[in-house]
Structure 1
Amino acid sequence: MKRSRLGSLDVTSIGLGSAPLGGLFTPVSDADAEATIERAWSLGVRFYDTAPLYGFGLAERRLGSFLRQKPRDSYVISTKVGRLLRAPDGTAAEDDHYKGAPRERPVFDFSHDGVMRSVEESLIRLGLDRVDVLLVHDPDDHYDDAVAGAFRALQRLRADGTIKAIGAGMNQSEMLVRFAEAVPVDCFLLAGRYTLLDQGALDALFPVCRDRGIGILLGGIYNSGILANPHVGAKFNYQDADPVLIARARELDELCRKHGTELRAAAFQFCMAHPVVTVAVMGARNAAEVADNIAMSEMAVPPAFWQELRARKLIEARAPLPGGA
């Protein structure tokens, strides 16, 4: 598998995202979770992303159970800070996205001490002695706390060699630009904001990342599923997709079929054509989905498809395309 540099880290260009392994939308059994991670490993994936939020600790536990069996220097793992998992007491935010998850619920805490506790608790759930990448997770309403508290803790951990890279993971690009200008970060995990349906990151985020050498870990390439199967009831940004978006996705799907390729392949390869994108973080809930993700990265997408995509103005004119189409 192709490899890239993420700061001082050597990473595979495809990573496994573990939100589905935490039961996102649908429960996942322990056996299916293990088989999913095993298939990713067997296909060469060596970058793994997780977070306390994903299944309220379940994804971290499942990922750690597998990775503990592997040489620690043979893979790179990222997790996130900004949420502590606590027993429900009426103050924790409700979240019904995760099925079959433990009873603990996430409580926002972007303070320095809260982040240090979060890291310790993640290591316990993972059963590992360290993680490689730490990301401030969804600080949308907590910018000041993130800069003064969370990022101060992350910089300390990076400076003493405990971790190798720091950044933030969000579903928006605007605040990531502010972080890039305020904090010396190594990477951002951007979810769902650079896809065939949304190229908002082109305006400000990607240029500042290019200029500052910040790598992009790109999640949500299928926009929560609509670009994998654009049907009525499909998800976009974790919610039921608007009919207008479903219509656009179907138009893209028809264009792919016209050129003898798959929408998933076009969605994947479009994202990876941008030079700031370092890793495609692809979620999967079973082994077959992992294999399909890898296959889509390799499937032939004819140059004529990219040319027609641009000619029909279905994407931003500034967006780079595979092969310079």
Structure 2
Amino acid sequence: MLAGFTASLTVSGCLNGKDTTTAEVASTSDRLGRLLPLRNLGSSGSAVTNLGAGGDHIGRASERDAQAIIEKALEEGVRFFDNAPLYSDGVAEERYGKFLTPNYRDVSFIMTKTLARNKADALADLDASLARMKTDYVDLWQVHALETPERVEERIRDEIIDALLEAQESGKVRHIGFTGHDSFEGHLKMLEEIEKRGVKMAAAMLPVNPADPHFKSFVTNVLPRCVEAGIGVLAMKTLAYGRFFGGNQGWRRTEVSLEPLIPDVISLEDAFGFAWSLPVTCLVSGMESVQQVSQNAAIARKTWNWNQAELQRRIDALAPFAGPDLEFYKI
């Protein structure tokens, strides 16, 4: 059960680095036009659009399609742009440097990440990311792909948190955070360690979908802890990396082919509405075409505030299908 999770995220604070009042943020527009709904990034003081463009798919698209996806996202009011050096070996970041930052840096909230295991490598990663994206700072820099608590301890021992703080102090990074989809226990370990050290992080990225509560759940174990700590939640794997559409795409358990769950079991709006009815700041979506951008943006514009019963109905619908075949990315 997700008792107490339904909550509205009012906006205030600052958008894209500019201090604003609540009234100014509520206008939800900038020089390019009307924005998608804004939500607070935890207690960081920043507000971001409730839909973000995933960098992985931008890296895998053709260059022409990547440019079109970025420009359509901006046209539809998306201002949150996810990325990582891992995506297509830096090509995704290079495309931001070519198609996003030259003309739209002032209106874009850009996130990237590091897989590095130690401070020196992480800081080198950051400099390389900034060079590829042709920007002198990122809005959010995250430790990428946390795994088990033991692997989290190794990174902390090798000063990964110190790297984040040093980058933030230098001005190369506005906010810091962490991501992961392997083990909710890894997220809990990171939350424990930053609380122990008094480190304030702005965001955590984790799987959020109505199948998750049935199997090694991030939604039930991690999301409430983030909310309590004032950490903004970024939703990923909202469609189970596409497995809600059937098939066997992904990188684990590819020998298992699933029947589609969308649209017969749940709808696309069910999956997205589930995430947006929780205290989630931004749903990061891997969009593969301009049509998908427009489709997802249209859903994002709706008001999502399902009650407990409505959330539970979607969770119950996926009970027969939940587990490691569907959510193959969990350890």
Q: TM-score range by the shorter chain?
A: 0.7 to 0.9
Which letter maps to 2:155?
A: A
In structure 1, distance between residues paired with 2:118 and 2:303: 47
Distance 1:234 1:294, change over 3 A: farther
Which letter maps to 1:314?
A: A
Which of 53, 59, 64 is the matching residue for 1:31? 64
Q: Deviations over 1:206-264 (max 9, x none)?
A: 1211110111111111111122x23xx24367653845xx35x53x63244xxxxxx11
In structure 2, distance between residues paired with 1:11 and 1:54: 22
Which letter maps to 2:118?
A: S
In structure 2, distance between residues paired with 1:51 and 1:73: 20
What secondary structure is seen at the aligned counterpart in 2 of 1:133? strand
Partner of 1:268: 272
What secondary structure is seen at the aligned counterpart in 2 of 1:77? strand
Partner of 1:134: 141
1:314: Cα distance to partner? 2.8
Distance 1:69 1:198, change over 3 A: same
Whether 1:3 and 2:3 are equivalent positions in the alignment is no
1:71: Cα distance to partner? 4.6
- Percent identity, aligned pairs only, is 26
1:36: Cα distance to partner? 0.6
| TM-score using structure 2 length | 0.73
Unaligned runs of 5+ in 2: 1-35, 320-331
Partner of 1:144: 153
Partner of 1:320: none
Unaligned runs of 5+ in 1: 83-108, 257-262, 317-325
Partner of 1:170: 180
| TM-score using structure 1 length | 0.75
Whether 1:285 and 2:288 are equivalent positions in the alignment is yes
Contact kept? 1:112, 1:150, Cα under 8 Å? yes
Distance 1:311 1:124, change over 3 A: closer
Partner of 2:228: 211
In structure 2, distance between residues paired with 1:222 and 1:119: 29
Equivalenced residue count is 269
* RCO comparison, higher one (Cα < 8 Å, 6+): 2
Contact kept? 2:137, 2:171, Cα under 8 Å? no
In structure 1, distance between residues paired with 2:129 and 2:252: 24
Contact kept? 1:132, 1:165, Cα under 8 Å? yes
Which of 17, 33, 57 is the matching residue for 2:54? 17
Indicate the RMSD between aligned Cα atoms, in angstroms. 2.8
Q: Deviations over 1:253-291 (max 9, x none)?
A: 3244xxxxxx1111011111111x100001112211211
Distance 1:53 1:236, change over 3 A: closer
In structure 1, distance between residues paired with 2:129 and 2:59: 14
